[in-house]
Amino acid sequence: MHGLNAIDLSIDDFYLTRDDRLELAQKTHPLFATSGVPGTHDLSLVRETLKALIRGCHPVAIPRFNKAKDDRCDESEWTSTATPIDIIIIEGWCLGTPAQTKDSLDKPINELEANEDVDGR
């Protein structure tokens, strides 16, 4: 209608690979094994993808995550842009959510934290 090219990205497609999350879980905290936990997104991949889209590069490979496998899809399964993009829409339920205050972190906020993060680390 307006001659603009748009793309929608899901923050869920930018999770770290399963292997990366399992390594993080061993080194830092077991909850990192679960995609969706804060800290399980590949922020470098988000930045690289957005920079390429903003620079007008094309094609740009768009990551995909397979929730059934709980792992990032092979790059051969990623989609790519065909033309420069004018509008980028990023969706995700956690985007823009402010950090919790230190005091609010003293008590678990859900059953997962209560059961899997007993010491609150």
Q: Which two tokens stand for residue 15?
A: 């999770």
Number of domains making up the chain:
1
pLDDT at position 1 over 70 = no
> Residues 29-65, buried b or exposed e (16+ Cβ, 10 A)?
eebbbebebeebbbeebbeebeebbeeeeeebebbbb
Q: For residues 62 and 79, is the Cβ–Cβ distance under 8 A?
A: yes
Q: Is residue 121 part of a domain?
A: no
pLDDT at position 120 over 70 = yes
pLDDT at position 48 over 90 = yes
Q: Is residue 70 part of a domain?
A: yes
* Residue pLDDT, tens place only, 61-79: 999 999 999 999 999 999 9
Give CA–CA dist 84/93, Å, rounded: 27
Task: Look at residue 99 in the predicted model and tell me its pLDDT.
Answer: 81
pLDDT at position 58 over 90 = no
Q: Is residue 92 part of a domain?
A: yes
Structural domain containing residue 56: 6-116
- Please provide residue 54's backbone torsions phi and psi, each rounded to the nearest 5 degrees: -70, -40
What does pTM read for this prediction? 0.82
Stretch among 53-57, 67-71, 83-87, 101-105 having the lowest mean pLDDT: 101-105
Q: Is residue 1 part of a domain?
A: no
Any idea what the CATH number is for the domain that residue 79 is in?
3.40.50.300
